[in-house]
Amino acid sequence: RKEVEQDPGPFNVPEGATVAFNCTYSNSASQSFFWYRQDCRKEPKLLMSVYSSGNEDGRFTAQLNRASQYISLLIRDSKLSDSATYLCVVIPDSNYQLIWGAGTKLIIKP
């Protein structure tokens, strides 16, 4: 089993819809979690950190489910500009190295 797993997609979603995807992790002691977004041929950019209590930033909501060992990203009222690959990142307990998922590709269609 991979340390961090994501559905590669692509998710084809009409503009204005709500879309959600998950990322599962294998190390139950993992402490920190992030969502990054990567546009085609660009560098990954930090989208949001994922806190135990969950967090929301505008149309984006991230949640952590420790019992089932996954994090989720919800995008409401999706825009064409949300089309990108969304990367899940996990930092294992007391470890420095970020473990990256392979990413979920999202395509928002007009």
18 vs 52 by CB, closer to other proteins: 52
Q: Which of 63, 71, 101, 106 binds other proteins (CB under 8 A)?
A: 101
Q: Is the peptide bond before 10 cis (omega within 30 degrees of 0)?
A: yes
∠ CA(93), CA(43), CA(106), 5° rounding?
A: 85
Rounded CA-CA distance 15/60 in Å is 15
Q: Report if residue 104 touches other proteins, rule: CB under 8 A.
A: no
Q: Do 70 and 25 form a contact (C-beta atoms < 8 A)?
A: yes
| Residue range at the interface with other proteins (CB under 8 A); choices 10-18, 59-67, 68-76, 96-104 | 96-104
Site string for other proteins, 15-44 (x = CB under 8 A): ----------------xx-x------xxxx
